[in-house]
């Protein structure tokens, strides 16, 4: 028994910001950004919230699956950029979808969040607790980015992707691995509100993304192929058996590095980061939805999904489409 993705959906904010637009904000160039990252543009919220984007992506995933909101048992939102601490984005989405039978909660594993949420749904469904789930990756990172820091503001984008999954007897997710290394959290962080109460007043740190890009780059190129090899060994498969590697969209050079380490043709690694940048937990489900709607995912295909990011966190799963 396993779980199978039955429907996908995604939504991006309307406003598209090109690399040339960013040259008006920071000292950079379209050429530098394309060469170092592969990114050409990204979508940025002008008012859409994480919940707005998530609700829209969920509606499309449900329509694609031919399901109604009241058929959802579990609603998981992976996000690191919610508008408020409470209630969770998942509970707000539940309310707007009228998914009255669902239990809803958020999960934060940064850019590995969608994958961790998918694995969580797998575990619940495998254990017989629930039969179906809506799994969402949704971010408005533009409010966490320091728009004067050229090292980070060129990378990120806003958006949401969702998948509807159900229990299945054959195929579906064949195996997964997930890892965390909290000892290396400093390389990619974003502070929240400072402690301020009648008994303490801790000076506030700037609540913006701070990143050691080279460290994150080296971590991704080393750990992601190792995680993929690990999950392939678990399922008795080799990289050659995989039709498509749907990776977190952080940097095209990272994807190239991973393809090289796995000795696989880069054509097996679809990309959309040129148009949407790095959308953290939304990256994998948005790309999956694009591939699905373009008819590029055929029944029976073997896919690897792999995400990595702040925490540090990383993981991979193998599935039959
Ligand atoms: O989901 C995970 C999230 N994070 C990531 O995936 C980030 C992974 N890391 C990366 O993608 C890359 O490290 C970056 C794209 C962030 C940076 O690329 P890099 O090749 O590692 O550049 P660098 O940081 O070593 O900087 C090289 C030069 C520096 O100038 P100097 O010191 O050599 O004079 C930077 O100041 O490029 C400069 N630079 C820029 N120049 C133009 C940094 N950002 C920019 C920019 N435009 N936007």
And the tokens for 166? 């159900």
What is the pLDDT confidence band of residue 211, given thresholds at 50, 70 and 90?
A: very high
Q: How many CB atoms lie within 10 A of CB 199?
A: 6
User: Which residue reads 């509606």 in tokens?
Assistant: 59
pLDDT, residue 25, reads 96
pTM: 0.96
- Mean pLDDT score of the chain: 96
pLDDT in tens, 64-103: 999 999 999 999 999 999 999 999 999 999 999 999 999 9
Express as a percent the part of the chain with pLDDT over 70.
Answer: 100
**Among 217, 250, 311, which residue has the most ligand 1 atoms within 8 Å of its CB, making it the best to mutate?**
217
Evaluate: CB of 216 within 6 angstroms of ligand 1. yes
User: What tens digit of pLDDT does each residue of 25-55 get?
Assistant: 999 999 999 999 999 999 999 999 999 999 9
The pLDDT of residue 184 is: 94
The catalytic residue positions are: 111, 248, 278
Residue 189's SS3 state is strand
Question: pLDDT digit string (tens) for 150-159?
Answer: 999 999 999 9
Taking the CA atoms of the chain, what radius of gyration do you get in angstroms?
19
In short, whether 214's Cβ falls inside 6 Å of ligand 1 is yes
Q: DSSP characters for 84-128?
A: -SSS-HHHHHHHHHT-TT-EEEEE--GGGHHHHHHHHHHHHHHTT
Ligand 1 atom 30: residue of nearest CA: 151
List 44's β-bridge partners, or say none. none
Runs of H (alpha helix) within the chain: 19-22, 30-37, 50-65, 89-97, 113-126, 213-234, 252-261, 273-276, 283-293
């Amino acid at each position: 028994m396993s779980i199978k993705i039955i429907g996908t959906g995604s939504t991006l904010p309307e406003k598209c910001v090109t690399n040339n637009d960013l040259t008006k904000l920071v000292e950079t160039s379209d050429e530098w950004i394309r060469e170092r990252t592969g990114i050409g543009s990204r979508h940025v919220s002008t008012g859409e919230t994480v919940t707005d984007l998530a609700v829209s992506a969920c509606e499309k995933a449900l329509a694609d699956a031919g399901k109604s909101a009241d058929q959802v048992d579990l609603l998981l939102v992976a996000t690191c950029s919610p508008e408020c601490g409470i209630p969770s984005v998942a509970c707000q989405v539940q309310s707007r979808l009228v998914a009255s039978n669902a239990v809803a909660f958020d999960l934060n594993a940064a850019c590995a969040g969608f994958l961790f949420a998918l694995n969580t749904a797998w575990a619940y469904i495998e254990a017989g607790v629930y039969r179906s789930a809506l799994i969402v990756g949704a971010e408005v990172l533009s409010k966490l980015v320091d728009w004067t820091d050229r090292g980070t503001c060129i990378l990120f984008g806003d958006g949401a992707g969702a998948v509807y999954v159900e229990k299945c007897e054959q195929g579906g997710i064949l195996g997964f691995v997930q890892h965390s290394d909290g000892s290396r959290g400093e390389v990619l962080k974003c502070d929240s509100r400072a402690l301020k109460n009648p008994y303490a007043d801790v000076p506030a740190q700037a609540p913006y993304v701070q990143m050691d890009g080279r460290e994150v780059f080296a971590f991704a190129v080393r750990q992601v192929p190792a995680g993929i090899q690990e999950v392939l060994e678990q399922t008795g498969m080799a990289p050659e058996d995989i039709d498509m590697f749907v990776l977190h969209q952080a940097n095209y050079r990272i994807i190239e590095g991973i393809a090289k380490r796995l000795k696989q043709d880069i054509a097996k690694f679809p990309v959309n980061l040129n148009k949407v940048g790095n959308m953290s937990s939304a990256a994998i489900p948005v790309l999956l939805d694009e591939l699905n709607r373009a008819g590029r995912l055929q029944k029976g295909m073997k896919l690897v999904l792999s995400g990595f990011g702040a925490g540090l966190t990383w993981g991979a799963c193998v599935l039959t489409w």
